[in-house]
Structure 1
Amino acid sequence: MSQIRFDQVSLRFSGAARSAVDRCSATIDSGELVVILGPSGCGKTTLLKMVNRLYEPTSGGIYLDDRNIRQVSRTALRRQIGYVIQQAGLFPHMTVAKNIAVVPELLGWSRPQIQARIDELLTLVELPPQEFRRRYPAQLSGGQQQRIGLARALAADPQVMLMDEPFGAIDAITRTTLQDEILRLQRQLRKTILFVSHDVEEALRLADRLLIMRQGQIVQFDTPFRVLTQPADDFVRDLVGADDMVRQLGLLRVKSVMVPLAESQAVSSELTLSPQDTLRQALSLVLQTGAEKLTVVDQGRAIGFITLDEIRRSSQSRQS
């Protein structure tokens, strides 16, 4: 189990006119990837950093599996939580292997156990151990450094991961690759992940649920589908571009909710998609046109169709 629960959590920094985090309550379920989204200064990173006690709340409580984290020493708490930040935060004077080994060494693992874990993690993040374990951070690309940062955060096999805009300083192509990596690893490992982002496209792509903040408060906590189709207010609608249903945001492939057609059935509408299109694109066309169904076409041949109900069911099944 690795549930995180915020219970009326507030934090006001000394001398501040208002609280950085204001009476926030939410439960992040075990194995869930929740993206905290909002504009700069809304309290995203502050809320995240309270989970590993880098900041202490002024009031309210934070619970890890129903235990108030204030009952756990900061050191013990942080050793059971993985933490990934922008630009990886690697120790420049240490090799890749030494960077990954930091927490296992603190926990007293044996040398053979640590070495096996280093190789396991480098393989997991698709960096061959024989090639990368002796390199230093300066010898790595930005994307490779972030992969090592992720491997280091996973070293002691924590059930909770905190990720503070980890891809914010990475170029767009590498960023997409690393997002794919997070989704792949999450399918394998099922960690409980809190992921701070200011990038709406990234948030919609990664999140099981979105926790949207404004001025220190949570304004909506829901699935991407419901945030897009039922935004809590105009702020949320504008933030996620709920009225802009055209851009490709890569949530789910249309083929995952496709209904087969008879081989002889012809394309009966200009409202068509390809198997490579996304759930967001399908939702766009359905909501914009009011069409009952969209035809999926592959190399000029109709191979299926998709309806709004199918899109909704697929989105809900992704959350289960």
Structure 2
Amino acid sequence: MSTIRFDQVSLQFPGAARPAVDRCSCEIASGKLVVILGPSGCGKTTLLKMVNRLYEPTAGQISIDGQDIRQLQVTRLRQQIGYVIQQSGLFPHMTVAQNIAVVPKLLGWPRAKIQARIDELLTLVELSPQEYRNRYPAQLSGGQQQRIGLARALAGDPQIMLMDEPFGAIDAITRTTLQDEILRLQRQLQKTILFVSHDVEEALRLADYLLIMQKGQIIQYDTPFHVLTKPASEFVYNLVGADDMVRQLGLLRVETAMMALPPDYSQNGTPTVDRSESLRHALSLILKTGASRLTVLDNGAPIGELTLEHIRDSASLASA
């Protein structure tokens, strides 16, 4: 697990009128998926690329688990961070297996371990090792290439993943499928993920936290639920479409809005809902059963609750 901390980080490119990133401070908690959201030119990708030192800040400090990343050798730092870009970035002259093996080879893994890891990762991204390991990128669809790009980024088992609009060039149906894959993998692997997006619906579906940027600055850093119900500014309100709470309920996961179980908690036949279901599904279940609250489950174990009043109050806040 790895925590990323930005402390008054700025980057001003030579000749630029203003900083691309301007005094940004926040902490990315270990194991969380944080989506950096904002309009074009707001500094999203610049902030992301400073984590693996593709860009160096002109002021401030970035640390991983308390260590200033400038104290780490660049090559060693990048080997510990998975990186996924929009066009997959696969080497066209290499097979799928050879692409996935790049980082493990750099890390000096033995051949048998590398081959086992290739098959493990292809299975993880739901592509048959027997069918795909010897194909070349040109023989894959766009969605398949992105799955291989994800597998390659995971190959060295990094604790941090940087994803720069990885699904931006994919058709809508495939994009939704890949978003589901990210959520599935994140529940299984619990990586610390920074994910750049300009798509609000994608951000709301994926994020544990939203980091919203405008003109190089962090405007709000909070859960999607709180961003929708308590936007920090008119800019944030308009960006996330906080006035359309009914539509947004279909994008937010139950776990982003649930409350802690009370000390006197007792299920007593209370309807249940999985943490990964949408708030719209939860609301439908409440209305269908007539229950005042739902017990939220994770692998069958109670982890929280959701009440009709909580959803109603939140919708009222958003439309106020």
Asked if TM exceeds 0.5, the reply is yes
Q: Distance in 2 between matches of 1:240 and 1:262?
A: 33
Q: 5 Å matches for 1:262-281?
A: 278-279=278-279
Preserved contact between residue 246 and residue 281 of structure 1 (Cα < 8 Å): no
Structure 2: gaps spanning 5 or more residues: 259-266, 294-306, 313-320
Structure 1: gaps spanning 5 or more residues: 264-275, 286-293, 313-320
Q: Which amino acid aligns with 2:287?
A: V
Preserved contact between residue 81 and residue 160 of structure 1 (Cα < 8 Å): yes
Q: Distance in 2 between matches of 1:277 and 1:127?
A: 25
Q: 5 Å matches for 1:62-211?
A: 62-211=62-211
Q: Which amino acid aligns with 1:190?
A: Q
Preserved contact between residue 211 and residue 218 of structure 1 (Cα < 8 Å): yes
Q: Distance in 2 between matches of 1:206 and 1:45?
A: 18
Matched, 1:296 2:297: no
Query: How far off its partner does 1:252 sit?
Result: 2.4
Pair 231,53 (structure 1): closer, same or farther in 2 beyond 3 Å: same
1:9-52 deviation digits (Å, cap 9, x = unpaired): 00000000000000000000110100000000000000000000
Query: How far off its partner does 1:280 sit?
Result: 5.1
SS at match of 2:245: coil
Preserved contact between residue 163 and residue 195 of structure 1 (Cα < 8 Å): yes
Query: How far off its partner does 1:296 sit?
Result: 2.8
Query: How far off its partner does 1:277 sit?
Result: 8.1
Q: Distance in 1 between matches of 2:286 and 2:188?
A: 33
Q: 5 Å matches for 1:242-253?
A: 242-247=242-247, 249-252=250-253
Cross-structure match for 1:290? none
Preserved contact between residue 260 and residue 305 of structure 1 (Cα < 8 Å): no
Cross-structure match for 2:315? none
Q: Which runs of 4+ in 1 moved over 3 A?
A: 259-263, 280-283, 302-312
SS at match of 2:10: strand
Query: How far off its partner does 1:310 sit?
Result: 5.0
Q: Distance in 2 between matches of 1:262 and 1:153?
A: 42
Q: Distance in 1 between matches of 2:99 and 2:252?
A: 33
Q: Which amino acid aligns with 1:114?
A: I
Q: How does the TM-score come out when normalised to structure 1? A: 0.84
Q: Distance in 1 between matches of 2:254 and 2:3?
A: 29
Q: Distance in 1 between matches of 2:106 and 2:278?
A: 44
Cross-structure match for 1:22? 22
SS at match of 1:6: strand
Q: Distance in 2 between matches of 1:195 and 1:209?
A: 10
Cross-structure match for 2:37? 37
Query: How far off its partner does 1:78 sit?
Result: 0.2
Q: Which amino acid aligns with 1:146?
A: Q
Preserved contact between residue 61 and residue 68 of structure 1 (Cα < 8 Å): yes
Pair 142,260 (structure 1): closer, same or farther in 2 beyond 3 Å: farther
Pair 80,238 (structure 1): closer, same or farther in 2 beyond 3 Å: same
Pair 82,54 (structure 1): closer, same or farther in 2 beyond 3 Å: same
Cross-structure match for 2:316? none
Q: Distance in 2 between matches of 1:5 and 1:30?
A: 10
Coordinate RMSD, CA, aligned: 2.6
Q: Distance in 1 between matches of 2:77 and 2:60?
A: 18
Preserved contact between residue 4 and residue 63 of structure 1 (Cα < 8 Å): yes
1:76-115 deviation digits (Å, cap 9, x = unpaired): 1000000000020100010000000000001111100000
Q: Distance in 1 between matches of 2:245 and 2:311?
A: 14
SS at match of 1:16: coil
Query: How far off its partner does 1:251 sit?
Result: 2.1
Pair 262,2 (structure 1): closer, same or farther in 2 beyond 3 Å: closer
Preserved contact between residue 261 and residue 303 of structure 1 (Cα < 8 Å): no
Query: How far off its partner does 1:164 sit?
Result: 0.2
Q: Distance in 2 between matches of 1:243 and 1:109?
A: 52
Q: How does the TM-score come out when normalised to structure 2? A: 0.84
Pair 277,95 (structure 1): closer, same or farther in 2 beyond 3 Å: closer
Q: Which amino acid aligns with 1:241?
A: G
Preserved contact between residue 31 and residue 190 of structure 2 (Cα < 8 Å): yes
Preserved contact between residue 34 and residue 209 of structure 2 (Cα < 8 Å): yes
Cross-structure match for 2:263? none
Q: Which amino acid aligns with 2:120?
A: E
Q: Which amino acid aligns with 1:112?
A: A
Aligned residues with identical type, % of pairs: 75
Query: How far off its partner does 1:303 sit?
Result: 6.1
